[in-house]
Each structure stands twice: as C-alpha cells, then as structure tokens.
Structure 1
Amino acid sequence: MTDRKKVITVLYFAAASTATGITEEEIDIADEGVSLASLGEILVARHPETGLDEVLAGSQWSVDASMVDDPASVMLKGGEEVAVICPVSGG
C-alpha cells in the first residue's frame, strides 16, 4: 500500500496574496488532520516576516466555498480547499 500525503489547498486573495506573493499553495497536514483554527499559525510559519499574521487577524476563512463562522469547530482532514477571505472596503 502506498502512503499518500494528506494535503489541503490554501487560496490567498487580496492582502493575503500580496503578503505571501502567491495566490495558492498546497500544505501537507498530519494524518490526524489539523484544525482550521491552527492553520493560521502554520501559514505564518511558512511565510515569516511578511505581515501575513496581521492580514489573518482581520480575515475570515472559507472551506470548500463555504464561509466558516467558528474556525475552532472545523477539522481539516485533507483534500479541502481553504480560502483566506480578507475584509473588503468600499465607498
């Protein structure tokens, strides 16, 4: 049996994309999964000194195109598409 990596795809928009310099990346996760609430720490560690931590502090998450109200209640198991949704200003 071949071991398959468990990955999630993270999509970066607006300020998150500007901070990281990319629009998407794949993140390997542990076999037991990772909570959405802890994903921000993983992303900041991958992109240190970019200001991503500040961007994430004011952003929301979307998992598989559904907005998430409580990141602590979501466990990512692999295969999900997670988007960083930055605040939008208008006038």
Structure 2
Amino acid sequence: MSESTQSSITVLYFAAASTATGLTEEIVLIPSNGLPLSSLGDLLISRHLGTDLANVLQSSQWSVDAEMVDEPDSVVLKGGEEVAVICPVSGG
C-alpha cells in the first residue's frame, strides 16, 4: 500500500513566499519516517523551480502548528503538521 510510505504536511505561504509560489497553501508529501524541518526548504524549492522561493526562504523563518521554530535542525516533521513560511515584515 503506497499510503504507508508517505505522509503529508500542509505548507502555508504568506507575503513574498505566496507571491513567489503563486499559492497560499499546498499539501506536501513527506517520507513516512519523517522529514527534518531543515530539509523542507530544499524540497519546496525543488517543487517551485524557476521562482524566487529560494531567496525568500533565506530570510524567512518556520512555524510548525502555530509555534515559531528557532532551531529547524531540532524538528522532525512526522505528517499532519501545518508548517508556515514566515517572511520578514518591513514596518513603517
């Protein structure tokens, strides 16, 4: 059963990330044994080749289930999470 080899997460895009991808959210399949949050950026960039997403992610932070993540290396996505790309906000 192929369902057992992959799980999924929901990625939310805001501001520049939404502009770069043309999306506000997407479902992303991840391995059933998990995906380090620190690897998610490369996966998303590979899904959106030819966009400015790589540049946007360099200055963005991650949020997992509405909690900001300070150390992406310490988080492993297991499936079912809602991950948001949080772009820097310019004030004025």
Misfit runs of 4+, over 2 Å: 1-5
Distance 1:89 1:72, change over 3 A: same
Letter matched to residue 60 of structure 1: Q
Q: Between the two proteins, what is the percent identity of the paired residues?
A: 66
2:3 partner SS: coil
Give the gaps of 5 or more residues in structure 2. none
Letter matched to residue 44 of structure 1: I
**Aligned counterparts, 1:70-85, within 5 A:** 70-85=71-86
TM-score, normalised by the number of residues in structure 1: 0.95
Letter matched to residue 64 of structure 1: D
User: For the aligned residues, what is the CA RMSD?
Assistant: 1.4
User: CA separation in 1, counterparts of 2:46 and 2:23?
Assistant: 15
2:63 partner SS: strand
TM-score, normalised by the number of residues in structure 2: 0.94
> Going by fraction, where is helix more abundant, 1 or 2?
2
- Residue of structure 1 in register with 2:89 after alignment: 88
Letter matched to residue 62 of structure 2: W
Letter matched to residue 56 of structure 1: L
Aligned length: 91
